[in-house]
Structure 1
Amino acid sequence: MPGPLSTRPPRCTGTAGVAGCALAYWLGRCGFVPTVVERAPGVRPGGQAVDVRGVALGVVERMGLLRRVREGATHMRGMSVIDANGKELHRSTEATFSAGRLDSGDVELLREDLVGVLEQLGAGQAEFIYGDRIVALDEGEHGVHVAFEYGPARTFDLVVGADGLHSTVRTLAFGPEGTSPHHLGTHLAIFSAENFLGLDNWQLWHRDGDAGYGIYPVRDDSELRITFGFASGPLDPATRDPQVLRQEVADRMGALCWETPRLLKALWTAPDFYADAMAQVRLDRWSRGRAVLVGDAGYCASPLSGQGTSLALVGAYILVDALRRTGGDHRAAFARYEARMRPFVALNQALATENPGGAAGEESLERAKNALTLDA
């Protein structure tokens, strides 16, 4: 994606996750002056291991980050499925539920490590503002007047919502049609703990009825990443309070046996506890006026797909490529972006629902992760 977009440096704003940081890099490369706004005080810690697969590896390679991403990969030897008492029911040294086949060229790494690498690269191309958020958008003929919770209002040529499943930009730009993700009937909670199980690059998975967990070591086996999952319809919005949400998760998981008491103790003390519904964003369009959505904000596939990170990386690249090819005409660029991305998004979102309660088939994943050509 060579060369500046134009002699005039258009300004654009986004958010500091995978999509936002990747977007900042590519926008800067193409002559934009990006501003990345993140409500957290810095790069968010914690989170699960994520996957960079298929065409997304090509995006990372074009960013010059493929070696660093591979160096940060997890090194799982395999996994065990265990019963309620911790007895092994099944094991595999060929694949894991979190990463798929271990002999593939795909990369699994911690989300915080990937975002850290992307943020370092994007910082050379963009202004990063932490500890603030967008609260209002007012579009005019030549730009969007953006109001912030703390900082002074500013005007941007474009606004990109790269702010995740619960996107504020999507709500502000699209109104009611942008407020309700499609719930998939499951909730996940993710947090870290000391490796009190002594796992050596080995995953444990257990499910009993509508609840279960996955546990795997990271950071040279010094830490665990623990994922709790349970079937549930949408929770009361009041449950978004972190302490209320911890209690909800603890109540749902409390009936499980084996090491569950120690896992729940770790839940209450984890500094990086995160929980949310598994949901997808399904919109008829991803742009309105000068505002456009990328990554989870526009087409969240949910962690059940295993492809959210790859969609974010590819979406950021394709959006900026469309802006470059159309000379900065945002209407033409947004139309091109959607035309190229929608088939790719559809195949990857389908992975989350192909096999309820289990992983999508290998053939489906292979087809979905490679279903786009970067240079088309």
Structure 2
Amino acid sequence: MQTVLISGGGIAGPVLAYWLHRHGFKVTVVERAPHPRPGGQAVDVRGVALDVVERMNLLEQARRVRTRMRGMSILDPEGREIDRSTEVAFSSGRLDSDDIELLREDLVRMVYEHTRTEVEYLFGDSVTALDENETGVRVDFAHGASRSFDLVIGADGLHSTVRRLAFGPEGRFAHHLGSYLSVFSAENFLALDDWQVWLRDGDAGFGIMSVSDNTELRVAFGFQSAPLASGLRGGGALRQLVVDKLASLRWEGSRLAKAAREAPDFYCDAMARIQMDCWSRGRVALLGDAGYCPSPLSGQGTSLALVGAHVLADCLARAHGDHRAAYARYERRMRPFVTLNQALATENPGGPASEASLTHAKNAFSLDA
């Protein structure tokens, strides 16, 4: 039985763990956080990614916890409504679509609960070194004892440690897209009822939607910026930058700034795309954002992670122990799909890609090809 270490306990890693376990692999998932991470924006499961969720027997559960948006309002910088729609929402597309929008934390929890009894999870730890030899990879951890695995998969996001250790510095592969995104939760002080509002004020703007039966808001705040100095990306400096930018908004700036300052699930990171010539090196391979992050601007990061996990597991199962052949097949199958979906992020700067482009990209793959 081949052993596989997956770094990253978000969406891509546990979904891969599910499929690898189904194919007879012994799987360990290591996650830096002490438990499945709460918070995060609403994510979309679209097109062929719905087939992956259905094959995991999670589709009905996902539909039960999906967002129930009735529509959206577009506001001017003073908060006056200038347009509205009950057919389309910027966060999810057409409201009558079969695609599913749900909170990231709900999808993470769902997949974790679906795999926790069959997969070994190491929470509160992380990979610090990889040493590959002819028979496997020796992995050092920040806290646990070193262990050896047949294969290592990096599913640890935009700032992947596995990618850095196996392929080199992030700067070789990350392409900044000119802005940053902050996501945090707040009390529903706007009294939104299954509704979302969108506003742009200068080089900043936000989308706010009601979630959790309208008991709270999920705020997605974006602002244009060149890459920030490394000192601003850690600790409280980045949060303070976001708080200050929110406070300068003309509508609800003070309440949004207060919410960002106090949010326990505050998140902020660059809008960036990861582009690599190869997603594997030796016994190590990359999955999802670690290898081909399309940025939140594409709206397809979750779908790429779901499809990529299914394909990688299938390729490893068919290869009968030949990881080089498996990784090569994984890349051949996934790269055209990744390229199409990454292109959505920059098709329409400042706005979503066209409905036609999204429809083509989300369906441009067959799991059984």
| TM-score under structure 2 length normalisation | 0.98
Question: Which one-letter code corresponds to 1:227 in the other structure?
Answer: A
SS of the aligned residue for 2:138 comes to: strand
Query: Which residue matches 2:104?
Result: 111
Q: Aligned pair count?
A: 369
Cα deviation, residue 124, structure 1: 2.8
Is the 1:299–1:345 contact (alpha carbons within 8 Å) kept by the matching residues of 2?
yes
Question: Which one-letter code corresponds to 1:304 in the other structure?
Answer: L
Tell whether 2:38 aligns with 1:28.
no
Query: Which residue matches 2:184?
Result: 191
**Distance in structure 2 (CA, Å) of the matches to 1:242 and 1:177:** 20
Is the 2:244–2:257 contact (alpha carbons within 8 Å) kept by the matching residues of 1?
no
**Distance in structure 2 (CA, Å) of the matches to 1:345 and 1:217:** 31
- Runs of 4+ with >2 A deviation: 8-14, 176-180, 250-255
SS of the aligned residue for 1:146 comes to: strand
Cα deviation, residue 328, structure 1: 2.5
Cα deviation, residue 180, structure 1: 4.3
Is the 1:170–1:179 contact (alpha carbons within 8 Å) kept by the matching residues of 2?
no
Tell whether 2:262 aligns with 1:265.
no
Cα deviation, residue 122, structure 1: 1.8
Tell whether 2:268 aligns with 1:275.
yes
**Distance in structure 2 (CA, Å) of the matches to 1:103 and 1:331:** 43
Query: Which residue matches 1:334?
Result: 327
Is the 1:178–1:283 contact (alpha carbons within 8 Å) kept by the matching residues of 2?
no
Unaligned runs of 5+ in 2: none
**Distance in structure 2 (CA, Å) of the matches to 1:351 and 1:128:** 34
Cα deviation, residue 179, structure 1: 5.2
Is the 1:205–1:213 contact (alpha carbons within 8 Å) kept by the matching residues of 2?
yes
Cα deviation, residue 123, structure 1: 1.4
Is the 1:210–1:230 contact (alpha carbons within 8 Å) kept by the matching residues of 2?
yes
Query: Which residue matches 1:3?
Result: none
Tell whether 2:73 aligns with 1:80.
yes
Query: Which residue matches 2:60?
Result: 67
Cα deviation, residue 178, structure 1: 6.8
**Distance in structure 2 (CA, Å) of the matches to 1:20 and 1:179:** 23
Cα deviation, residue 252, structure 1: 2.8
Alignment of 1:194-209 (within 5 A): 194-209=187-202
Query: Which residue matches 2:206?
Result: 213
SS of the aligned residue for 1:314 comes to: helix
Which among 355, 360, 363 is matched to residue 367 of structure 1? 360
**Distance in structure 2 (CA, Å) of the matches to 1:362 and 1:28:** 36
SS of the aligned residue for 1:41 comes to: coil
Give aligned-pair identity as a percent.
63
Unaligned runs of 5+ in 1: 1-7
SS of the aligned residue for 2:236 comes to: helix
Tell whether 2:80 aligns with 1:91.
no
What RMSD in Å do the two structures reach over aligned CA positions? 1.0
Tell whether 2:85 aligns with 1:123.
no
Cα deviation, residue 251, structure 1: 2.7
**Distance in structure 2 (CA, Å) of the matches to 1:178 and 1:205:** 32
Tell whether 2:211 aligns with 1:251.
no
Cα deviation, residue 9, structure 1: 3.6
Query: Which residue matches 1:288?
Result: 281
Question: Which one-letter code corresponds to 2:27 in the other structure?
Answer: P
Query: Which residue matches 2:138?
Result: 145
Cα deviations across residues 282-341 of structure 1 (Å, max 9, x unaligned)? 000000000000000000001100000000000000000001111131000000000000
Tell whether 2:174 aligns with 1:181.
yes
